[in-house]
Structures are given as structure tokens and as C-alpha cells.
Amino acid sequence: MSDILLSVRGLSTHFQTQGGLVRAVDEVSFDIRRGETFALLGESGCGKSMTSLSIMRLVPEPAGRIVSGEIRLDGENLMDLPEAGMRRIRGNRIAMIFQEPMTSLNPVLTIGDQIGETVRQHRRLNGAGARNVVLELLDAVGIPDPRQRYEEYPHQLSGGMKQRVMIAIALAGEPDLLIADEPTTALDVTIQAQVLALLGDLQKQTGMAVLLITHDLGVVAGMADTVAVMYAGQIIEKGGKEAFYHAPQHPYSRKLFASLPDVNKRGHRLAVIHGAVPSLARDFRGCRFAERCDAAWDLCHQRAPQWYRSGDGQEVRCHLLDPALAAQRPAGGAPDLPAEPQAHAGAAHAPASLLEVEDIKVHFPIRKGLLKRTVGHVYAVDGVSLRIGRGKTVALVGESGCGKTTIGKAILQLIRPTAGSVRFEGDELTRLRGEALRRRRSDFQIIFQDPFSSMNPRMMIDEIIQEGMVALGIEKDARRRQARVAELLEQVGLPREARHRYPHEFSGGQRQRICIARTLAVQPKLIICDEPTSALDISVQAQILNLLKQLQNELGLSYLFITHNLSVVGYLADEVAVMYLGRVVEYGTVEDVLEQPRHPYTQALLSAIPVIDQATRREVIRLEGDLPSPSSPPSGCHFHTRCPHAMPVCGQRYPGSTSLSATHRTHCFLYDGSAE
């Protein structure tokens, strides 16, 4: 029996659109061995997901079709099979986990029925036999109380639980190959660590191969055996993980690594890939990356590169590795991509306090019955205090549902706090009403996570950016407003002509730049950034982070940066507040919190972050169970039900604030001495 399980050769998938023929997958070839994890790495739109759908023969018709290539599973060419034959392959020999579990699960069927469907189809089991197999699968993927979950619906499960159900469905047919398409993108880092560990454990137990599709270099570093990098519909580099991470060869791969934010790059601009991914509807003559490559020369635009093998076994599609062209290459070859110095954000601005939040609470009533009587509360934010200085950035981190976004809205008075104080430049915002609050709105603005949904698709960019100025009466003269729009677009790195276009005509990173321009139009002093880079690719994220730092340097802006990406925190923030279930459990400078975390929850968060350098990887601290409901938080310390260091006192009362240093504090009985 051959060691190769799946062999893809010359795979091309095209789509006929109004804009012309789109070559979504263009001459892609690779092999996956039995038991191997093969990572397909690349940014949005490069063809990763379409490659996986082509392997499954699920390309959307009639617009799309596989025009050439072979897909061999154990030597059998799947392209020769009729649809009935492919149905026996899908879910049985090859299974797939999709990116968004909620849209992949049927909301009107129970979990047991959905997993049972695959069991009945591929294992030919019914009744009690099928039910027993489903319960075994639920237990195998780590879902507690399988008998209860069997009868529940998708909306009753957390995001991590839904993804585990998707894994159970995929495993139900005992596949030889599991395709995991961005299986952890929408998950918090702690849940992501659990899902990745689960996939690794199941792979060892079953011997299945995994095709891992992702844009996360950290996830690939922890999971993959072999890596293939895609760009503009083609694979441009592939080889063993160790060689790839030690010395990536293609200029695009090198740029991806240089674009990653981390604490060691503080004070420097991140490397960016200028320009945009080329349209796949055009005819390519030379290298597809040539227009954005710092090492490109004339030949790169004239002739497409062939495959070349580097000394460490990496295969690379790049003229730089062609020994016959050594004399023609520009001196120096591929650039080393040094970090570009950038002034510290707060260096030119006084550290005076701009915003002071004291013991803020946001409780939402739970009403039931005909008379809608209040029967309880959702304690979304339950006593949070923080301070932001002028020209400074405070990061708010924590899992989904911990109250981060609610705090941002409460500061802006978009949600009125139940209790507490919000002082902006000495003014108590909670007491302002009507016109008095309206006059202050220009001083604090928000950038939302999804730039597309935060813009009116029927308005041109010019109108979108002017909207705030008109609403707040900042500039009465229409010509001056239009001139200001042109200035703002240039300030965020977009051409003036962009103002005459609509949101759908821009990429994700460009839309986020437009949202930043709209925010700057009213000349704010504080911007609340609510996950502004979580939906962006690595290189686009680097552009936005550079822009935010540049604007802070030039304008003295202050940021409350809401995120779950601690690598971004290490690069951008001055101070960090770690939240758990509506409360801040640790607060300090970036160096305090990221280098010397004290609270067990902070330690678990940091241990769960996928890292590129495996030598610096911490042992993952696995948190048991899910985040408790904010409508009925545990007594005492909210974290004690999941804490590996919990003591009896932790369940009796909430720990007070303990100062670990002048800049570092935590709420934990491990440090206040009262538990002894």
C-alpha cells in the first residue's frame, strides 16, 4: 500500500462571472500522506477553501467547474466517479469541518439527529445502535453529559461546543482524510487550544490524515507536518514545517512572518505587503506576486517562475532560486525586511488622564411572564475600573461574552451604565443628557469589528465620512467638508478618488481604513477600537496597526483596544486589563501582564496562544468547562469553577484588589494573604 493517501495533480477550478473568467484554483498539485497534517496556508481569496471544495467535488454549479486535473484517493481518481460514487466518499472516506459551525448546523434538528444522520448513512446503523455510536462520539470529542446534549439544539451550545459537534459529525463516518477549513477562526484562544488539542488526540487515535486550511501561522506551527503557501490561486512554496519556519524562501512567505505583531516589535513599524492581491479574472504573464514584491526585477513581470528546490528541501516557485539566473538577479536578492523604527506613541504627549472609569456596572434585566416582571439580571459588566491617559492605549482582553464590548458602549453612553462613574476630561458622562451629551460625542468615537456592516451600502464613501460632521455640526460649509474628506482619505492611505465609490468596491482592509477616516472626521480624542483587526488577514492587519500607531503619534489619540489577540496587545498597547465574566481580574503594563502574568486566568490565556517559535511555547493550561452564564455567575471568585488553584475561600467571597507593584494589580486570593 502506498504511503500517499491523497494526490492532487494540476487541479484547476474556474468560475464564469460577469467580470470574466475567474481562475480560483490554477494548476495546484500536492500530496498528503497517511496520518499526516498538511497545512494549506494563505490569506483570504487565495483559493484555499475552493481547493478543498474541489477535492470534495462540491464546487458551486453552474458558474463554477473543475476544468482540469486529477484528485486521487488511494489511487482512485475521484474525477472519474459519478455523483452517486462521490456521495459514498463524502463523509465516509473524506470528511470536512467548515469554518462557521453555526451556519453549518441545522437549527431545527437536535444534536443527536444531526450526528445520527451521518452514522445511519455511512455505518448503516439505526435505532439504539446509532444512538450508542452518537453518544460515544460526543464523549470522544469531550462534550460533557452526552445524553443531555443529544437532545439539545445548536443554539443551546457555546461556540466551542458547536465546533466539537462539527468534529463529531466529521468523525462519524470514520474518514481517512479530515479537511478542517479554518476550524478555530471564530473561537477564543482558550477554546481554540481545546479544539486543536482534540484534533491532535483524535488523529493519533484514528490515524487519519488532516488537511488544515488556515491563515494563522501560529496554528500551523503547532499542528502541521507539511506546509503549502497559496497566493492568487497557486501554491508558491511547500515543504516540511521545520524548514519553512526556520527559513521561508518565497518573498511572500517572508513578508507574512515580518507582518506578525509581537512585543519585540514595539516602537517599530510592522512590515507590510504593499498593494492588493491581483484579480483572478486577469491573464497572468509573469509571477503573480511580482507587483508587490520588493525583490522583483524585469524578468518577474515577463515570465512565470518554475518550481525550484532549495538546500533544505523546500520547493519554491520563484526566480530567486533559479541558479541559471544568479547573474541577472538584483544585488542582495530577497530583502531581509528589517523593522522600520517608529516613534513611541506616547512620547510627545503628556501622560495626563483623559478617561477615568470607576466601578462601572451594566446589568440587563431578565423579564418574563405576561406582565414582563423582572426575574433576574444579566451581569454583563459588574464593577470595572480603568484609566486611559492622553496618547495612550489600554487593551481590554478576554473571552467572548466577558463584557468587553459592553464596556465600550457604556463609556460612549450608547448603553447607560447601571452604576459607576465615567469621567472624560473631568466631565461625568453618566449625568449628561440630550444636547449636552451630543456636544461631547465628537470627542469619543468607535471603530467596529466588521467594517462592511458598519457602513450604509447605499451611500458613497464621501457621504459616509461626511455623515458624522453633518450630524454633529462640525463643519457647515459643504466644500470644506469635501476637502476634509479628501484629506482624511489620504491620511489613511487611500486615493482621493475613492470617495466616489461604494463600500462593496473595497477590500476588507480598505473598508477598515474608511471606517477610521470616518472616525477621524469629527476630531476625536478617544477611539474605542472593537476588534478592528480580527477579521483581517495578516498583512492587512499589519497595515491597520501601523496606521493606528501613526495616527496616535501625529494626533495624540488615545485608544481603548478591545481584542482577544494578545500578540496585537503586545505590539500596540501600553496597559492591559484582563476581563473574566464582567470583571477585571488583572491590570498592568504590557510588560507586567504578558511577561509576568499572575492571575490563573491570565496564565491560561497566554498559554493557549499558538506561537511560531516552539521553544518559547508554554505548556497549555486547559480550562475545564465553559464560561459560566453572566445571568448566574458563580459565588465568590467567578473563576473558581475553572481554576486549577481554587481554594475553599474562592467560592465564598470575591477577592479584593492586590497590588503586586506600582503598575500591576490582580484580584486573586493567591496573592492577598487572607486565604492562609
Question: In the numeric block, which cell numbers belong to residue 417?
Answer: 451604565
- Rounded Cα distance between 57 and 44, Å, is 21
Q: Does domain 353-432+440-450+526-672 have CATH number 3.40.50.300?
A: yes
Task: Quick: pLDDT tens for 434-478.
Answer: 999 998 999 999 998 888 888 999 999 999 999 999 998 888 899
Taking only the tens place, the pLDDT of each residue in 38-75 is 999 988 888 999 999 999 999 988 889 999 999 999 99
The sign of the CA dihedral 570, 576, 582, 585 is positive
Range from 1-5, 264-268, 443-447 carrying the lowest mean pLDDT: 1-5
> In sequence order, what are the residues at sequence separation of 6 or more whose Cβ sits closer than 8 angstroms to the Cβ of residue 485?
461, 462, 465, 466, 499, 517, 521
More confident residue, 3 or 311: 3
What stretch(es) of the chain map to CATH 3.40.50.300? 353-432+440-450+526-672
Omega of the bond leading into 323 within 30 degrees of 0 (cis): no
What's the rounded mean pLDDT across residues 323-339?
A: 64
Taking the CB of residue 109, how many other CB atoms lie within 10 A of it? 14
Note the pLDDT of residue 289.
95
* Least confident interval from 80-89, 342-351, 401-410: 342-351
Closest CA to 289 of 305, 270, 311: 305
pLDDT tens for each residue of 635-658: 999 999 999 999 999 999 999 999
Q: How far is the C-alpha of 395 from the C-alpha of 528, rounded, in Å?
A: 10
Can you read off the three cell numbers belonging to residue 23?
A: 481562475
Name the grid cell of 24.
Answer: 480560483
Alpha helices in 502-625 (DSSP H): 508-520, 538-555, 566-572, 590, 600-607
Beta-sheet strands, E only, within 398-457: 419-424, 427-428, 444-447
Q: Are strands 353-368 and 373-389 parallel, antiparallel or unpaired?
A: antiparallel
Of 499, 45, 67, the C-alpha closest to 278 is: 45
pLDDT at 624 over 60: yes
Q: Is the pLDDT reported for residue 613 higher than 80?
A: no
* Mean residue pLDDT across the chain: 89
Lowest mean pLDDT across 14-18, 52-56, 75-79: 14-18
Q: Is the predicted pLDDT of residue 14 greater than 90, yes or no?
A: yes
618-642 mean pLDDT: 86
Torsion 537-582-453-469 (CA) sign = negative
Q: Span 206-231, mean pLDDT?
A: 93
| DSSP secondary structure string for all residues of 324-381 | GGTTTSPTT-S---PPEE---TTTTS---EEEEEEEEEEEEEEEETTTTEEEEEEEEE
